C-alpha cells in the first residue's frame, strides 16, 4: 500500500493500527466523535501510546488526510484519460472512502503544512485542472471550467455524504453522479 517506516516493536505496527482504528471511528461517528484514548483501547495499548506516533490529535488527522490525498490522487490519475470518469472517480472516492474524504476537506482539523500531504493534494489538483481544461470552450475559460467541474463533483459528494439528497439517490450514487455530470458535459462519450 504505502511505505511502512515502523519496524515491529512491541505492538507490531501500532501506527497503522491506530490509523485503522481512527478510520473505523470516523466512519461510525464522524471526524470528531471519538477520543484518542478510545483508539488506544481498540488497539489494545495504553492511553498515551498514540501520542508517540502522531504527537496529538491533529497529528493523527494529518496522517489520515495525507494517506487520503495519496489514494485520492491515485484514483483520479487512473481515470485521467476520460474527463467524465474523473468526475465519477471523484464521487466514487468520496463515497467509497468516506472517512478519508471527511477529513481531507476540513483543513482546520489537521496541519496543512505537512509536506507529504501538500504534495499529494497538489497531485490530485493537477489531474482536475488538466482534465477539466479539456472541457473548456476557450482557453480564457479554463479556470472557470475547472472550478465549475470541481464544484459539481465536490458538491454532489458533499450532499450525498451529508444525507441531504432524496432517498432515491442512495441506491446507486455512482450512476446518478454519472448522469448528473453527463447532463452538463454532454454525451460525447
**What residues make contact with DNA under the rule CB under 7 A?**
5-12, 14-15, 34-38, 40, 45-49, 51-53, 55-58
Site residues for a copy of itself, window 108-147 (CB under 8 A)?
108-109, 141, 143-145, 147
Which three-class secondary structure string do you get for 138-166? CHHHHHHHHHHHHHHHHHHHHHHHHCCCC
Angle between helices 142-162 and 115-133 (to 10 degrees): 120
From the list DNA, a copy of itself, none, partner contacted by residue 35 (C-beta under 5 to 8 A by kind): DNA
Stretch that binds a copy of itself, among 47-55, 65-73, 76-84, 162-170 (CB under 8 A): 162-170
45 binds, among a copy of itself, DNA, none (CB under 5 to 8 A by kind): DNA
CB of 92 to DNA, least distance (A): 31
Interface with a copy of itself includes 187 (CB under 8 A)? no
The one among 32, 45, 80, 95 contacting a copy of itself by CB under 8 A: 32
- C-alpha–C-alpha distance, residues 134 and 80, integer Å: 11
Partner interacting with residue 55 (select from DNA, a copy of itself, none; CB below 5-8 Å by kind): DNA
Q: What does the DSSP assignment read for 32-79?
A: TSS-HHHHHHHHTS-TTHHHHHHSSHHHHHHHHHHHHHHHHHHHHHHH
- CA pair distance 76, 82, nearest whole angstrom: 10
Amino acid at each position: 500500500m504505502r511505505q511502512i517506516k515502523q519496524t515491529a516493536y512491541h505492538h507490531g505496527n501500532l501506527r497503522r493500527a491506530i490509523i485503522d482504528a481512527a478510520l473505523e471511528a470516523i466512519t461510525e461517528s464522524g471526524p470528531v466523535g471519538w477520543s484518542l484514548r478510545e483508539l488506544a483501547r481498540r488497539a489494545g495499548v495504553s492511553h498515551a501510546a498514540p501520542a508517540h506516533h502522531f504527537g496529538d490529535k491533529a497529528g493523527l488527522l494529518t496522517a489520515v488526510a495525507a494517506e487520503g490525498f495519496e489514494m485520492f490522487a491515485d484514483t483520479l490519475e487512473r481515470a485521467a484519460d476520460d474527463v467524465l470518469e474523473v468526475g465519477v472517480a471523484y464521487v466514487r472516492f468520496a463515497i467509497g472512502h468516506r472517512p478519508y474524504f471527511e477529513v481531507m476537506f476540513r483543513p482546520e482539523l489537521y496541519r496543512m503544512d505537512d509536506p507529504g500531504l501538500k504534495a499529494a493534494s497538489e497531485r490530485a489538483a493537477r489531474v482536475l485542472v488538466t482534465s477539466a481544461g479539456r472541457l473548456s470552450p476557450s482557453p480564457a475559460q479554463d479556470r472557470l471550467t475547472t472550478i465549475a467541474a470541481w464544484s459539481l463533483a465536490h458538491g454532489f459528494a458533499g450532499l450525498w455524504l451529508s444525507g441531504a439528497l432524496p432517498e432515491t439517490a442512495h441506491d446507486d450514487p455512482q450512476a446518478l453522479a454519472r448522469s448528473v455530470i453527463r447532463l452538463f458535459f454532454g454525451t460525447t462519450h
